[in-house]
Amino acid sequence: MREIVFDTETTGFEPGDGHRIVEIGCVELMDHFPTGRTLQFYLNPERDIPIESQRVHGLSAEFLADKALFANVADEFLEFLGDAQLVIHNASFDIKFINAELARVGRAPIPLARAVDTIEIAKRKIPGARYSLDELCKRFGVDLSARTKHGALLDAQLTAEIYLELIGGRQKGLMLAPAEIAAAETVETIRSARQRSQKLAPRITAAELEAHTAFVAAELGDKTLWNA
């Protein structure tokens, strides 16, 4: 099963207020494991970037002035997504911005139902917890040292790690199974090697057995358990 984890950085909170995407980051998973394939775009939003937003992601209008427009990368972005399931932290936010950009270039919107929201999974798995990406990373021991500011590709990578933890701890049990099977097979091999194909011949002689039987009868008589 192919999945794409993606994240966006924006100039603000609402595309309806004219805010735009300034970065897109995508990470590919196959059968719940990262393939190493990623996609990232910095985008020229064709507008100013409020200082509050710059403090979050560190992207200025000057830095983005020579970057691509969404219209220039839309085809590559959609091709990378393909028909994969989407995994997003706070899916409604990113989907509404992506759909606003798609509408500008006359492309069909992405249904929200196509997305798996890691916040919703976390609410079911750990009710009452804090569900920000930072808090979930801390809960699961995911390294945050590189996250001095938000970044779409970095946050997509962190979301992928959180997602894998939420759906079963990266299938650690399955990853250990081959080693456990190999160990069990080794033990069984040793056991089989130690078993003799034929029983050893008894080392006691007939005379010794007869003497022992006579001794037991003379000393213990009917008290012995052997005669019970």
Q: How far apart are CA 102 and CA 74, in angstroms?
A: 8
Q: How far apart are CA 5 and CA 46, in angstroms?
A: 26
Distances (CA, A) of 204 to 197, 208, 220: 21, 6, 22
Residue 150 annotated among the catalytic residues of the structure: yes
Residue carrying structure tokens 């916040």 = 119
Q: How far apart are CA 123 and CA 135, in angstroms?
A: 13
The residues facing 28 across adjacent strands are 4
Q: How far apart are CA 64 and CA 66, in angstroms?
A: 6
The residues facing 199 across adjacent strands are none
Using alpha carbons only, what angle is made at residue 27 by residues 152 and 4, rounded to the nearest 5 degrees?
Answer: 110
- Catalytic pick from 19, 57, 89, 150? 150
Q: Active-site residue numbers?
A: 150
